[in-house]
A and B are shown apart, each in its own frame.
Chain A
Amino acid sequence: MILYIQYLKAYFMSISQYKKSAILTIIGQFLTSLFSLLGINFLFSQFNSLGGFTYEEILLCYSNITFAFSLAEFFARGFDTFPYLISDGRFDRILLRPRGAILQILGATFEISRLGRLFQAILIYIWVLPRSKIVWNFFNIFVLLEIQICGFVLFVSLFILYATICFFTTQGLEIFNIFTDGSREFGKYPFAVYGDKVLKIFTYVVPVACIQYYPISYLTGKTGNMLYAFTPLFVIPYTVLVVIFWKIGVKKYTSTGS
């Protein structure tokens, strides 16, 4: 943990060399994701609800996903850029150091520009939480935190999964972005909106719906099923699987060297 904080400190020291550039990219990210927000607003100027969800509920979903995803992108940038880590030899260097590889890759780099999106998510929270007609009792606050934390962990493990695939293909698979960036874009609306098949994919293959559609349904009172409130916890075994897969990938890397 001390080491991780040192990595973070080193990153901010590096960033401080390019202050203007950092601020501009933060603003840029803020503005680009503003467009999808405008998209939601446009939709709701035509309709009153979408798949049974109100404007406020969709916004809550949007800010959950944006919050978790941009936080994950900020912290797990090393896995997002993993093909470069392999091709320029930095991953070899990581293996030469007496620390766990995952920790070192997480520490290798961060992405400050994502704080622009994170900031936007927080602004929306401030606006939407009091207006959402959800009673913010102790349990519901717990569910919200559960969504945020598990969402963050889920996206981090999706990035790790993406990096693991690089071991088998050397180059990153752009197609995999369907699941990372795709789940961010799709995930702004509850998956049920897209129909049953999409919901199933995002439940069983990439369990993004577990931190989104199901708990949101519970929070907004669409279902009384308590099980739906705990679906985000499904992320834990998923992450364990991803880490096992990652370890197999590292083994494969050290036996082929490429």
Chain B
Amino acid sequence: MIKVENISKSYYVSEKREKTKIRNLFFKTRKQIEALDNISFSVEDGEMVGYIGPNGAGKSSTIKILSGILTPDSGKCTINGMVPWEERVKYVKNIGVVFGQRSQLWWDLPVIESYNLLKEIYKIPKNQYKRTLFRLTDMLDLDSLINIPARQLSLGQRMRCEIVAALLHEPRILFLDEPTIGLDAVSKKSVRQFIKNINKESNLTLLLTTHDMQDIEMLTKRIIFLAKGKILFDGEIETIKQKYNKKMVYIKCKGNKPNLIEGIEIKDEDEGYFTVKLDKKKITEESAIKYLISRSEIIDITSHDLSTEEIVIQMYKDYQV
């Protein structure tokens, strides 16, 4: 179980100055930046949480604090009954971390050799290691990959190997920092499926940061939305969807564009055709259709819910981040 209470962290960054002066080589003006501002949340065992927010929101700082490699300025945090930054060596035995942008595999070695090294690093008993390795490689179809040097793997193949590497010591918590970054559609899908399975099978607690809304949609029910170091939303993704629930309706017509009444906006226009968007606060679908059909020929009507992606864009706008 992860319990975070009132964590704050600020950094000093040296300020940029407009003029280059020799003086600046020796003196710096430093500016304090609040990377995290009074963050509190808790995650139950076996829960899967999506941690989202724009770049620079403080996601990576949170992951660093939770994994014990960064000490916050103030606040409390207990994970599995331990304070991450206090007993590093003892604490990290129970967590796994995957960075989408960095590899922990030995570049020139066959993947299996990296795994053997990790076995030694984590002092995993031989039988347990064999069992876990078999289970994971079986699940991910890695049998053919693990004898290939890491540098020869595709990004998608490597990411699956990375996740296995982070799970060999059977941690209870897994942090995934942008695990699908840069992957193609098929690889993304298989990585997601694997994360899902592993969470279900071994009751692993998962905290996932991502910019890919499909990750969130496929994997988590709960999201924590972070911006400028503050948590702006923490809850079911469905709640947000309802709040932003807007059915978008588009009507495509043939003919010349008529004068438009309020609530009907032009979306795009092509020779002889035009498409309009309805603002349902101002006009009902029925009256819009009636109005349009008397002036042109309706070809197509489409409607869809706001996707998670669009909701997040909307949230970024609403919170002005």
Chain A residues near B (Cβ < 8 Å)? 2-3, 6-7, 10, 13-14, 17, 88-90, 92-93, 95-100, 104, 254-258
Contacts and interface: CB of A to CB of B under 8 A. Distances in A.
A15 B50 CA distance: 41
Contacts of A13: 108-109, 113
Nearest first, the 6 A-B pairs at minimum CB distance are A14-B108, A95-B69, A257-B70, A98-B93, A255-B71, A3-B120
B233 interface: no
Nearest to A2: B120
A13 B67 CA distance: 31
B90 to A, nearest CB: 7
Contact of B122 (A89, A98, A257): A98
B209 interface: no
A96 B70 contact: no
Given A97-B92, A98-B90, A17 B122 contact: no
Given A14-B107, A95-B88, A256 B102 contact: no
A98 B89 contact: yes
Interface in B92-111: 92-93, 95, 97, 99, 102, 104, 106-109
A96 B69 contact: yes
Contact of B99 (A89, A95, A254): A89
A78 B70 CA distance: 22
B117 A96 contact: no
A6 B93 CA distance: 20
Contacts of A97: 92, 121-122
Nearest to A257: B70
B121 A257 contact: no
B64 A257 contact: yes
Nearest to A255: B71
Interface string B119-162: 01111000000000000000000000000010000000000000
B218 to A, nearest CB: 26
Nearest to A92: B69
B85 interface: yes
A14 B113 CA distance: 10
9 contacts: A10-B117, A13-B108, A14-B108, A89-B102, A93-B99, A93-B104, A96-B69, A97-B121, A97-B122
Given A14-B106, A95-B69, A7 B117 contact: yes
A241 to B, nearest CB: 23
A207 B89 CA distance: 33
A14 to B, nearest CB: 4
Contacts of B85: 254
A99 B89 contact: yes
Size class of the contact patch on chain B = 20 to 34
A95 B69 CA distance: 6
B120 A6 contact: yes
Contacts of A3: 120-121
B11 interface: yes
A92 B64 contact: yes
A45 to B, nearest CB: 46
B11 A256 contact: yes
Contacts of B107: 14
B106 A254 contact: no
B68 interface: yes
B205 interface: no
Contacts of A17: 108, 149
Most interface-central of A13, A256, A257 (chain B CB within 10 A): A257
A1 to B, nearest CB: 11
A17 B149 CA distance: 10
A104 B120 CA distance: 12
B180 interface: no
Contacts of B108: 13-14, 17
B61 interface: yes
Contacts of A99: 89, 121
Contacts of A258: 11
B116 interface: yes
Contacts of B102: 88-90, 93
Contact of A254 (B70, B120, B121): B70
B67 A96 contact: yes
B67 A10 contact: no
Interface string B64-92: 10011111000000000000010011101
A11 B70 CA distance: 30
B262 to A, nearest CB: 53
Nearest to A6: B120
Contacts of B93: 98
Nearest to B106: A10
Given A98-B122, A255-B71, A14 B109 contact: yes
Contacts of B92: 95-98
B101 to A, nearest CB: 8
A95 B149 CA distance: 25
B8 to A, nearest CB: 13
A111 to B, nearest CB: 15
A14 B93 CA distance: 27
A257 B70 CA distance: 6
B44 to A, nearest CB: 23
B120 to A, nearest CB: 5
Interface string B251-282: 00000000000000000000000000000000
